[in-house]
Amino acid sequence: MAAREGVRYPKFKEHFSVLDFNAERAVPVISLYDLPKEISKEEVKISVCGLDCKKRFYGWNDFQKIKKVKTRMPLICQIFNWAEIIRWEGWKLKDVLESFGIADKENRYYAFYSDDGNYFESLSRKEALDERSLIIYGMNGEDLSHEHGGPIRLAVPFLQGYKSVKWLCGIRSFQNDPLGIKILLAQSKTGKLAPSWKNKYGLGPLEGRVIHHERLPLQEKTESNPNNSVGSENRE
């Protein structure tokens, strides 16, 4: 199988449980830890805990009460020198946090936990409430696959890809930054993207929007609405 062109591996490559950069894949499969047991949408159970330290749980039906969005934005794995424009379907993270009662300004940071039992990452309040931060259930016109983080995952296009936690099973708010697994393992100094990546994909400042049409393969240009630029949004 041919490897994806341009991929560069970090020194800690051997720490990853899964690294599949097969060029035939639309999106690579990357996981630091072993993939968790596959579950259906109906089995989704998200643990949510605010500053009151009172845990509650939300399922797939609870997400259906929130306005859905469709958008095209990049997923950028700066560590591996890889990026792809992806058609996402899901909900704005800020709408989810509001619906679940943890969006008040006292909540300064958020941690997002993976169902693999080990992985977690954090977002500041400003990052979490940015219009581009999403919780996803669909990718490129299909249900989000298990290997790519389904049934639901985080997607934060303006930060490094590892911030987009797969197999989402928990959200908790904090007063101080819980940092996240990558910084704690010394595999990254910051989740922020280098200016070269931000410029290439037109990623503006927080609370901004993707501002230009990314050059896409001819096939996707043909199949897509020519007026549907990167970051364009349809609501359901």
Q: What is the structure's pLDDT at 229? A: 41
Cβ contact 72:86 at 8 Å: yes
Could you say which residues of the chain have pLDDT below 50? 208-230, 232, 235
The pLDDT of residue 23: 85
Computed over every residue of the chain, the mean pLDDT equals: 89
**How far is CA 231 from its chain centroid?**
14
Nearest CA among 57, 77, 35, 43 for reference residue 182: 77
Local structure of 124: helix, strand or coil: strand
Note the pLDDT of residue 232. 47
Residue 5: predicted pLDDT = 87
Give domain limits for the chain. 13-213+230-234
Q: What is the pLDDT of residues 99-157, one digit of tens each?
A: 999 999 999 999 999 999 999 999 999 999 999 999 999 999 999 999 999 999 999 99
Between the alpha carbon of residue 16 and those of residues 31, 73, 89, the distances in Å are 6, 25, 27
| pLDDT value of residue 216 | 36
CA angle in degrees (0–180, nearest 5) for 80-114-155: 55
Q: What is the pTM of this model?
A: 0.87
Give the CATH class of 13-213+230-234.
alpha beta
